[in-house]
Amino acid sequence: MVHRSKQHLKNKFSEGFSLTMKFATIQQAEESQEFICEILPKAKLITALRPSTVSPPISLQ
């Protein structure tokens, strides 16, 4: 099995861009997600991880 980088796979199979952000609180993450969706209406949330002990990253495409 050949492993490819995230960038290689994105270039081959995807369009757009990926954005990963980390926040100190869930509220900051939610507010930022709302703001991004306002300025980029076609933005699509792919993954939102919200563990209680780690800052929650949000990925948009």
* 58 and 45 Cβ atoms separated by less than 8 Å: yes
State pTM to two decimals. Answer: 0.53
For 10-57, how does the pLDDT look when each residue is reduced to its tens digit (9 = 90+)? Answer: 777 777 777 888 888 888 988 998 999 999 888 888 877 766 555 555
Residue-wise over 39-51: b if at least 16 C-beta within 10 A, else e? eeeebeeeeeeee
Residue 59's pLDDT band (boundaries 50, 70, 90)?
A: low
